[in-house]
Amino acid sequence: MKIKIYDTNDEMSKAAADLVVQQLQEKPDSVICFPSGESPTGMLRYLVQYAHEGTADLSRCYIVGLDEWVGMDESNHGSCKHYLHTNFFNHLDIDPERVVMFNAKADDLEAECERINNFISSKGGLDIMMVGVGMNGHLGLNEPGTDWDLYAHVSDLDPITVQVGQKYFQEETALTKGITLGLKHLQEAKQPILIAAGTKKAGIIADSLQGHISVDVPATILQTLPHARILLDKFAASELERAS
């Protein structure tokens, strides 16, 4: 893995957006996975700006949503779909047929996982899989203890995820399961990219990037991926023993 540290969240976000633009220039029909949450907001803002300026052409790429809370859709303000629509899709002229996201209200969630798996496979895999990291080291909703060989799957949410996840909702919300791309997708992605900012992420970043490799901290899988890119601001990187 290659770690790059920036002075500010804004610089880190711009660098992440620039990686997407570079990928699109090289392959306009790239398949790109975006996460939701606090970490990608700045990056998405830059991509919207680039699209309006004509610097980035998103018209031919395919966008895959990383995950979703089971039982929710874009009408839930704390949902991943609502986040991506509010911060990204609503500001762009993107063909809905090129956006693939989990239907977390589907009657058959296993079939929904297969639908997403098959779509990614049919396009030759993910060109970029962008992820943030949870306070328990989860990537997407791959919770502690998740098998690293899984593709898309339904997960039981870790108590820390349930607790931290409340910040996305206007009132306390019952969260029990998630549906998510798997860590096998991350391993197979041509560019796995982790973005993280802020002092609150410093501890888990240090554990993930320099701690013992274990399924108990899913983000430690990044240590096994030589082609992974890690983009951090200096605050998220503040507990790393060394910068590379």
Q: Which of 9, 76, 87, 136 is catalytic?
A: 136
DSSP 9-77: HHHHHHHHHHHHHHHHHH-TT-EEEE--SSTTHHHHHHHHHHHHHTS---SS-EEEE-EEETT--TTST
Predicted confidence at residue 25, as pLDDT, reads 97
Q: Which of 67, 112, 158, 233 is catalytic?
A: 67
Rounded CA-CA distance 65/152 in Å is 11
Predicted confidence at residue 167, as pLDDT, reads 86
Counting DSSP H helices and E strands in the chain, the numbers are: 7, 10
Q: Which of 82, 138, 153, 185 is catalytic?
A: 138
Tell me which amino acid residue 145 is: G
**Residue 9 a catalytic site member:** no
Close Cβ partners of 173 (under 8 Å, ≥ 6 residues apart): 76, 78, 165, 166
Radius of gyration of the chain measured on its C-alpha atoms: 17
Q: What is the dihedral of CA 52, 58, 59, 61, to 10 degrees?
A: 180
Tell me which amino acid residue 88 is: F
Predicted confidence at residue 243, as pLDDT, reads 47
Per DSSP, 239 falls in state T
**Residue 136 a catalytic site member:** yes
pLDDT in tens, the chain (244 residues): 999 999 999 999 999 999 999 999 999 999 999 999 889 999 999 999 999 999 999 999 999 999 999 999 999 889 999 999 999 999 999 999 999 999 999 999 999 999 999 999 999 999 999 999 999 999 999 999 999 999 999 999 999 998 988 888 878 888 999 999 999 999 999 999 999 999 999 999 999 999 999 999 999 999 999 999 999 999 999 999 854 4
Q: Give the C-alpha distances (Å, rounded to integers) separating 148 from 29, 138, 198, 218.
A: 28, 12, 27, 8
Predicted confidence at residue 169, as pLDDT, reads 85
Residue 32 near residue 128 (C-beta atoms within 8 A)? yes
**Residue 112 a catalytic site member:** no
Q: Which of 143, 158, 207, 233 is catalytic?
A: 143
Rounded CA-CA distance 39/42 in Å is 7
Return the residue matching tokens 């983000």.
219
Domains of the chain by range and CATH?
2-233 (3.40.50.1360)
Tell me which amino acid residue 81 is: K
